[in-house]
Amino acid sequence: MKSGRSFLTVFDSLIDRILCVLGAVLFSQGPEFMQQYLQRLGGHLDEARRQLAQFQSAANQAGVTLNQLISQTSANPDPGVARLGGVMADSVQRTSSLQSAHDALLHSALWERPFVFLRHLDLEIARATGAVYQPAVPTTAEGLVYALTGMLVFLALYHFGIKRVIALFRRPPAPVRSVA
């Protein structure tokens, strides 16, 4: 009976260590993914600004504001030219949206960053980031905080969740018979 109990203690200790490592590694990928996403987001923002600058330049050359150029182009009787007005309007909106997401992520505090990330998430950019994502172990304070949080979450799930469920199904020890 004693060797069975020590085996369970060693097994429980091993599970603790495995869960600590697993939680740390998984949670530390959050800041790394957000960093790679932010880089890709910045690339999209740069390209959107470049396109918007071309539209702005065309408006300047025509002697009108960009909004006036969008209105004039959208009102053109030629359907192809009119659609270009929508493309320009979409470009203005897209640049603004990307800038807002970029600034929010860049200036968010450590604990609010995951929520800011989710609030401003662009699924297309997230999928593209995921397709080329390279796992890494961030050596920043943020990476350490996320790793420690992952360890605590996994250990809490194990000790206050899984172990309690297992205990419910464990048979009570057989009563010891006394020999009189």
- pLDDT tens for each residue of 122-142: 999 999 999 999 888 778 888
Sign, CA dihedral 163-111-114-40, equals negative
> What does the pLDDT look like over 14-46, one tens digit per residue?
887 888 888 888 888 888 899 999 999 999 999
Per-residue pLDDT at 1? 46
pTM beyond cutoff 0.75:
no
Q: Give the model's confidence band at 180: pLDDT under 50 very low, under 70 low, under 90 confident, else very high.
A: low
Domain assignment of residue 2, yes or no: no
Domain assignment of residue 8, yes or no: no
Domain assignment of residue 174, yes or no: no
Total domains in the fold of the chain: 1
Domain assignment of residue 6, yes or no: no
Cα–Cα distance for residue pair 28/106, rounded to 1 Å:
18
Domain assignment of residue 96, yes or no: yes
Q: Please give the structure tokens belonging to residue 109.
A: 């505090």
Domain assignment of residue 44, yes or no: yes
Which ranges of the chain would DSSP assign to H, the alpha helix?
Answer: 2-62, 66-74, 79-106, 113-119, 123-131, 141-157, 163-169
124: domain range? 16-169
> What does the pLDDT look like over 78-88, one tens digit per residue?
999 999 999 99
Domain assignment of residue 10, yes or no: no
Domain assignment of residue 27, yes or no: yes
